[in-house]
Amino acid sequence: MKKSALSDILGGLIILALGLSFFLATNDIIPKDKWWSYLLTFLGLIFLFDAVMRNWQLKEHLFGGRFIAGIILFVLGLAFVLTLKNWWPIILILVGILIILKGVFGHREVKSGEAPKS
């Protein structure tokens, strides 16, 4: 699958998530004042899906920006859906610590004459 096809799928899924969250709210399936938290949850799942697909199809690094954005959006959305208002900052702190640890310990040193891995 080409990179442009994955970008088209990502764009379509984002529009689908927006429409789905509005549909659920206008039909009283989810609370109207929480439609945005469901949208965040959907977007998080979409970004995680996109990161996995790019890793699988294009051999891109799985734990890059899309994966991290997906985790953050999913956790934030879920925290508000489940009314964990007091816990979401702690969840963000933990995600930040995980990102820092990945940066510190996750990259291997490139030997001379060897191309760096992306």
**For 65-85, what is each residue's pLDDT tens digit?**
788 888 888 888 888 888 776
Would you state the structure tokens that stand for residue 61, as one six-digit string?
Answer: 């690094």
In a domain, 89, yes or no: yes
Query: Bigger pLDDT: 91 or 100?
Result: 100
HSE of 70 in the Cβ direction (CA atoms, 13 Å)?
17
- Tell me if 112 is assigned to some domain: no
**pLDDT digit string (tens) for 23-45?**
999 999 999 998 999 999 999 99
Mean pLDDT estimate for the chain: 80
Instruction: Tell me whether residue 115 is in a domain.
Output: no
The answer to whether position 114 is within a domain reads no
Q: pLDDT-based confidence at 104, cuts 50/70/90?
A: confident
In a domain, 54, yes or no: yes
Number of domains within the chain: 1
The pTM is what?
Answer: 0.68
Q: Is residue 80 part of a domain?
A: yes
CB within 8 Å of 75: residues ≥ 6 apart:
44, 88, 91, 92, 95
Write out the residue range of the structural domain in which residue 17 sits.
3-105
Residue 26 Cα distances to 29, 38, 42, 112, angstroms: 8, 13, 17, 59
Residue 110 lies in a domain: no
**Confidence band of 94 (pLDDT split at 50, 70, 90):** confident
Residue 87 falls inside a structural domain: yes
* Measured distance between the N- and C-terminal CA atoms of the chain, rounded to whole angstroms: 19
Percent of residues, the chain, with pLDDT higher than 90:
26
Orientation angle between helical segments 3-26 and 35-58, nearest 10 degrees: 160
